[in-house]
Structure 1
Amino acid sequence: MNFTFLVTDDCFSSGVVGLLDTFTIANLWHQELTGSRKKLFTTELVSIDGRPVTSSGCIELRTHKSISEARDVEFIILPPVFPSSKLGQQLTTAVRRWLVENNRMSVPIAAVCTGSFLLAETGLLDGHVATTNWQFARRFQHMFPKVRLRPELILTEEAGLICTGAATAYFNLALTLIQRYGTKELAGACAKALLIDPNRESQAPYFLEPKQENHADMAIKKAQRFIEKNYAEIAIIDEVADHVGISPRHFKRRFKQATGQGPLAYIQNFRIELAKKKLELTQDSIDEITLQIGYKNASTFRRLFKDRTSLSPREYRDKFARAG
């Protein structure tokens, strides 16, 4: 199988080099396990005009050819890019046509991390399930409302379009492809050699909920500050609405418009983020943390925590608690 990487200026080189190295190691292990000298995987880098590109880390990536010279493509990989206003410049008419045409010919396309923004710009993801770097999930949903985004997932695949979650989720993509075009034994050997957890399915445990203060509604900012100071005592949303002098119904609508989530979800997310820090940094029991963040029922806290992180509080502590 030959993998064609479409590289652009300012792409993240880790999403290219990490995969290139993984496929190289897969070839070495294939030779070790079978005694064959044959390479299962080959790779090539292409750019819009065939010239080298400079990654976001100022690393020059030398390419093999231009997209117009890339013939008989078997599999396309889109590396991560920064999802900014430059997206339109990177996705030229020629690139869009090249991706759409290859998709029409049933060539699989995998978007690594924020490479999903480039793929979504083509319209190919419309109506399909996708994931992306969790930090940019809200921006993705705003830009591409027709895509069925599942930001909690490490990897999605539908209609020949694969997307991965944040950063090193490209390792999970690599293992998937090595098993698909090689063998399960080979993928397992690579996972062990590279210390990759092959069973990761969710990036939810890694989410950090932003404060969502990038708005101009001063009353809602006042409400946010009130919540952050009184999160453990707030019993009903009406208390917050009263504090800022807005009717409860109007408050809920304005709060969601300003922050992207309702006040109840905001309070719950704030409490869960605080609980995560306590689980990471303290030895407080789960029952103690439950009370500290404003819940009287530990089972309610455990349920909400698992809903948002895919892990129980104990599992989260075991995974992320710092030693010492």
Structure 2
Amino acid sequence: MAHITLLAATGCATSCITGVIDALSIANRWQALSGENGSHGQPLFHWDIVSRDGLTVQGENRVRIEPHHAMDDVTATDLILIPGFIAPAHVTHKPPAELITWIRDWHKRGAIIAATCTGSFLLAETGLLDGKEATTNWVFARYFKKRYPNVRLLPERLFTKDDRLICTGATSAYMDLCMYLIKTFGSEELAATCAKGLLLDPNRSSQSPFFIFDYHKAHSDPTVLKAQTLMETHYPHPLSMETLASELAISPRHFVRRFKTATGETPLTYLQRIRIEAAKQTLETTSEPIDVITRQVGYEDTNSFRKLFKKNTGLSPKEYRDRFTRLRN
């Protein structure tokens, strides 16, 4: 039997706790029904919810979470689960020192530490993720990368595991953690059965199809802002870096360096992402052929466009349309 300790903290996404409990409870029921692993009625998982002081915690949207006991009362566990946080204020604040110490100590004692969604920020604060692979909610990926440069962040991934440290992507990716736990402590067959019962795609591995480009305008460089506006307005037409630099009355080299400093991306990558975002919107809302969309967003070669689209989203244009179309028959 595997023991899971779920950490409840102020402002946490309660689904990252209750959803995990529901999934593991379903695994217990399926295993009991099947008699798999010679269970003889013994549950596969047991869990406790803990808080820093054992008192009631108010999660996101004022949902109250009643812990079983305080975190210091834990005497044995296989896995510590850190939930995600939805509000940016809860993501960016410095956690209490005793919480950091508690997480580090349990890792030293051999427990797996799993962070769902933006819970990876709390895990990164411990220093345990330095030099390790990790993922997080893609919405906060740029901030995470800037704040924790020593972590090997893979924002396109739904799930990472490195040295008993697990991270999952945006909110509902906690289900991918659940499937991993069911497979690890149960079996692949049990995990497959639970995935079907929960309507989960067991083969999904990327957050990339869900990314929404945020245009990176949280900076104070007026010249770069002007360049961004030019690209957003004229992306369907040929645009060279030399042309943009000329419009801004600066050298191409200085333009590229200044643009990357302000946005974190090269001008070419930024232009590509604008075009891909425009293509995504057209795929979602129209039935235009792919070759027509290719030209509409500023490309001539449809094959090259398909490759670039898949590189950015993890899906071909057709696969993307099939999954996200807003058209109604």
TM-score range (shorter-chain normalised) is over 0.9
2:50 maps to 1:46: yes
Helix, strand or coil: the match of 2:62? coil
Flag structure 1 segments of 5+ consecutive residues without an equivalent. none
* d(CA) in 1 for partners of 2:282, 2:183: 39
- For each residue in 1:79-110, what CA deviation from the matched residue of structure 2 results, as whole angstroms up to 9, or x when unmatched? 00247455576621211111111111111011
Residue aligning to 1:137 = 141
SS in 1 for 2:47: strand
| Residue 223 of structure 1, CA deviation | 1.0
Q: How far, CA to CA, are the matches of 1:18 and 1:250 in structure 2? A: 50
> 1:216 and 2:220 equivalent?
yes
Counterpart in 2 of 1:117? 121
Paired with 1:279 and 1:109, the residues of 2 have a C-alpha distance of 39
Trace 1:1-324 onto structure 2 (pairs within 5 A).
1-34=2-35, 36-82=40-86, 84=88, 86=90, 91-324=95-328
Conservation of the 8 A alpha-carbon contact between 1:30 and 1:36? no
Letter in 2 for 1:50: G
After superposing the two structures, state which structure 1 stretch, 9-18 or 235-244, moved more.
Answer: 235-244
Contact 1:79 1:111 in 2 (8 A): yes
Distance in 2 separating the partners of 1:219 and 1:92: 41
CA distance in structure 1 between the aligned counterparts of 2:315 and 2:238, rounded to whole angstroms:
26
Q: Give 4+ residue runs of structure 1 displaced > 3 Å after superposition.
A: 82-90
Once residues 188 and 22 of structure 1 are traced to their aligned partners in structure 2, the CA distance between those partners, rounded to angstroms, is 12
Code of the aligned partner of 1:24: S
Q: Deviations along 1:237-282, whole A, 9 cap, x unmatched? A: 1111111222111111111111111100000000000001111111
Q: Deviations over 1:47-88 (max 9, x none)?
A: 111111000121100001111111112210000024745557
Over aligned residue pairs, what C-alpha RMSD do you find? 1.4
- Residues 227 and 234, structure 1, Cα contact 8 Å, conserved in 2: no
Partner-residue secondary structure (3-state), 1:280: helix
Structure 1 residues 308, 99: closer, same or farther in 2, change over 3 A? same
Contact 1:126/1:147 (8 A) holds in 2 = yes
Amino acid at match of 2:114: A
Q: Is the 8 A contact 1:204 1:310 kept in 2?
A: yes
User: Aligned partners of 1:114 and 1:159: how far apart in 2?
Assistant: 19
In 1, Cα distance between the equivalents of 2:304 and 2:265?
Answer: 20
Distance 1:171 1:208, change over 3 A: same
Moved more, 205-214 or 27-36: 27-36
Conserved in 1, the CA contact under 8 Å of 2:286 and 2:327? no
CA distance in 2, matches of 1:193, 1:93: 40
2-structure distance, mates of 1:186, 1:15: 21
Unaligned runs of 5+ residues in structure 2 are none
Kindly provide the amino acid, as one letter, of the partner of residue 59 in structure 1: V
Check whether the contact 1:8–1:90 (CA below 8 A) recurs between aligned residues: no
- Change in 2 beyond 3 A, CA 1:25/1:281: same
Distance, in Å, in 1 between the alignment partners of 2:163 and 2:95 is: 21
Q: Which amino acid aligns with 1:7?
A: A
